[in-house]
Amino acid sequence: MENWLKKYIPADMKDGLDYVFVSYYEDDNDGFQPEWEDIFKNLEKTFPNSKLGIGECGNTAKNATNQNKIKMVNHYYTMPKYTPNYVGGYFWWYWVQDCIPYKNNEVWLEIYKNMKN
């Protein structure tokens, strides 16, 4: 990702974007966990004037259980502020499928608790 950004994103975008969010799906990458601190520190160097965060996240595996989803919610929604420009983000990709209806919904409740904190 970082090499692609350096090669294809023009300087005016690197200096002028308001937000840069990274969308990531672990299930599509065999559960690989990037070194998020390194990624966001490098993104801050590339986009010094942009707010940074996680865009879409969520389970894409068809066999993901509520416990798998809750584990992923807790991983992403509790990420530390890696850089001064880090603002969070966190848009659960399968919100409708996983969180509606919300009453007595474990995944919705976990996202709610994390957003409230």
pLDDT tens-digit profile of 18-42? 999 999 999 999 999 999 999 999 9
What is the separation of C-alpha 63 from the centre of its chain, rounded to a whole number of angstroms?
21
Q: What is the pLDDT of residues 52-72, one digit of tens each?
A: 999 999 999 999 999 999 999
What are the extents of the domains in the chain? 2-116
102 vs 43: which has the higher pLDDT: 43
pTM: 0.88
What is the chain's alpha carbon radius of gyration, rounded to the nearest angstrom?
Answer: 15
Identify the pLDDT of residue 66. Answer: 96
